[in-house]
Structure 1
Amino acid sequence: MTWAGALLLLCGGSPYLSVSEFDDLCPALRDTVDLYISGSHEAYVEQVEKYNQNSDVLETANTLKSCTDEKLTPQDKFLHLLLHNKIYSSSLC
C-alpha cells in the first residue's frame, strides 16, 4: 500500500476502527508522516520501529527515507507538509 493509500484509509475513516482508536491513530500517523517528509533519518526509522520491529519493514523504511531525502527538494517537502496539514485539519481525521 502506498503512503497516500494508507493516509486515505486511516484519515478517511475505516469501518474497523472505533472512534477512540481513530483518535489515537491519527496523531501517530501524523507524527510518522511528518518525520518521513522533514525529520531526520534516524528519527523516522525510530518512529517506525515503535510500531513495527519487523526487519523487512525497517529496511524498507530506511530505504524510503533515503530516497525521500535524496529526491525531494525543500519546496517539495514544504508542499507535502501543506497538503498533510490540510488533510489533518479535516473533520474526518
Structure 2
Amino acid sequence: MPADRIAAVRARVGARGFSAHVSAAVERQLQRGLLEELLVENERQAGPIPRETHDRAARAFRAAEAPADHETGSPAVESGSAVEEDAWRDRRAG
C-alpha cells in the first residue's frame, strides 16, 4: 500500500485502528466483487435489466442517500449520475 494512503488511514483512525479499518475495507471490496459476479450471472440468465427499472432504482437510491447526506453534513454523492451509470454499464458490458 502506498505510504501516503497508510498515513491518511492512520490520520483518520489512529495507529491502533489501522488494521481494523483496512480489514473492513477489504471485506467491503470482496463483497462488491461477489455482488458484481452475482449481477453478471443474473443478467446472463435473465437478460439485461430494463432501462425503466434501472432508472427507477437509481432514483430510489438517490432519494435514500439524500436524508443520510443531510444528517451527516456530507455532500451528496453523485450516485445514479449519468457518468456513474455509464461507467457501471461499461464494466458490465466488458
Per the shorter chain, which TM-score range?
Answer: 0.3 to 0.5
- Point out which structure has higher relative CO (alpha carbons under 8 A, 6+ apart): 1
Normalization by structure 2: what TM-score?
0.37
TM-score, reference length from structure 1? 0.37
